[in-house]
Amino acid sequence: MSAAEKLAGKFIVIEGLEGAGKSTAISYIAKWLALQNMPAEQITYTREPGGTELAERMRDIVKMEVQGEDLEDKAELLLMYAARVQLVEHIIKPAQNNQHIVVGDRHNWSSLAYQGGGRGIDLQLIEDIKQVSLGEFNADFTLFLDIDPELGLSRARGRGELDRIERLAIDFFERTRQVFLQLTDAEQKAVKIDASQTPEIVEKAIFKQLDNWLASL
């Protein structure tokens, strides 16, 4: 079986704190997929929250600030899952059924890390919501780009103004990072990449991990 045939229908996810370099990593994955002779028209890219018309509107709500009305933590969590259900049902599953490989900028772990670790919502409650909304749907491979929150936020700041979540205190992101680390440790189909290194080293590390994963398929 060719590499492209093995990759067809798979769902790869990049996770990490802001400024970890997820968008940059996705360009490396695109390069790696081209090396595997994966046709560009057989690759679907997604981002969360978002990716469908309704999910993008939910993303806008999550990012906006309304004077005099805070977005409740549980409302934020439910919006993340509402957007995810739209994306999975309308984009990801149909793409997989059409033999596409799907490359996701964030997925379920972001809710466990940000709303669980960061906001402090019970992780079991989040797992229950995940089960109700997505059942056994999961990523086939997760690359967690690990970065010190101070460094990640300083990179994000370099791009312009910070949004509602990015303005939170550093210990919020420390707690978020800890959940990402625990999830990566506990999951066989996930790897951690040191995202504080130079882009060239990060690219090499991503290629190596993808090669190993492909060899395991």
Nearest to 58, CA basis, from 96, 111, 119, 14: 111
Furthest-apart CA pair in the chain: how many Å? 58
104 binds ligand Z5A (CB under 6 A): no
117 binds ligand Z5A (CB under 6 A): no
51 binds ligand Z5A (CB under 6 A): no
- Please report which helix (H) or strand (E) contains residue 216, including its range: helix 199-216
- Beta-bridge partners for 190: 142
21 binds ligand Z5A (CB under 6 A): yes
φ, ψ at 12 (rounded to 5°): -100, 140
Helix 73-87, helix 53-63: angle, nearest 10: 160
86 binds ligand Z5A (CB under 6 A): no
Tokens, residue 28: 């490396």
Nearest to 153, CA basis, from 15, 16, 14, 19: 19
The verdict on whether residue 118 carries a ligand-binding annotation is no
Q: Which CB atom, from 96 or from 110, has the smaller least distance to ligand Z5A?
A: 110
209 binds ligand Z5A (CB under 6 A): no
111 binds ligand Z5A (CB under 6 A): yes
Q: Which CB atom, from 33 or from 126, has the smaller least distance to ligand Z5A?
A: 126
CB of 159 vs ligand Z5A, minimal distance in Å? 5
Q: How far apart are CA 161 and CA 195, in angstroms?
A: 22
Q: Which CB atom, from 19 or from 141, has the smaller least distance to ligand Z5A?
A: 19
Which chain residues interact with ligand Z5A by CB under 6 A?
Answer: 16, 18-24, 47-49, 80, 106, 110-111, 114-115, 155-156, 158-159, 163, 165-166, 198-199, 202
Residues annotated within the binding site are: 16-23
